Amino acid sequence: MLVQAEAVRDGLTIKQAAAKLQVAPSTAFRWRHRFLALPKTVQAQCLVGIAEADETFFLHSSKGQRRLARKPGRRGGRAAKRGLSKEQVPVLVARDRSGATANIILAADGKADLVAALKPLLPSDTILCTEGSSVLAAATRSA
């Protein structure tokens, strides 16, 4: 596997990597995508120094479910109601200046959920910068 890591680092083509690893090109392709997908799954356990946090909202996805409680949606759909509603899922994104990033899917957009998400990420000496969200500011003070 170290040879595959070297092939990715050196920017070899699939054919060159397959020849170097002595495997089929389809195997080299599959291995490359496994290696490239791994960093996306790594989450920061702790943010240090100066950190920034913000929350964003995505439409709830029912992808893969057999029975829907609503009519099937179209690609790039919109919420039925304006503003925040139960149709949207809140996600907290926090990042420090060294590049460590954590994103947490929240159960609800409330102070208790934000405190539970921020507390393990922020040591007491970390400075957290946010935009003007009053819920996020209150959760930061509590954490």
For residue range 111-122, list pLDDT tens digits in order: 888 888 888 888
Question: Residue 24: its pLDDT value, please?
Answer: 94
pTM over 0.85, yes/no: no
Residue ranges, the chain, pLDDT below 70: 1, 40, 72-74, 76, 143
Domain ranges of the chain: 2-41, 50-63+78-142
CB-CB contact of 96 with 120 (8 Å): no
Question: Residue 73: its pLDDT value, please?
Answer: 67
CB-CB contact of 115 with 139 (8 Å): yes
Question: Residue 68: its pLDDT value, please?
Answer: 76
Extract the runs of DSSP E, i.e. beta strands, from 4-107.
Answer: 50-59, 88-96, 101-105
Question: Residue 85: its pLDDT value, please?
Answer: 73
Question: Residue 25: its pLDDT value, please?
Answer: 92
Provide, rounded to the nearest whole percent, the portion of the chain with pLDDT above 90.
8
Q: Would the CA dihedral through 131, 135, 137, 143 be positive or negative?
A: negative
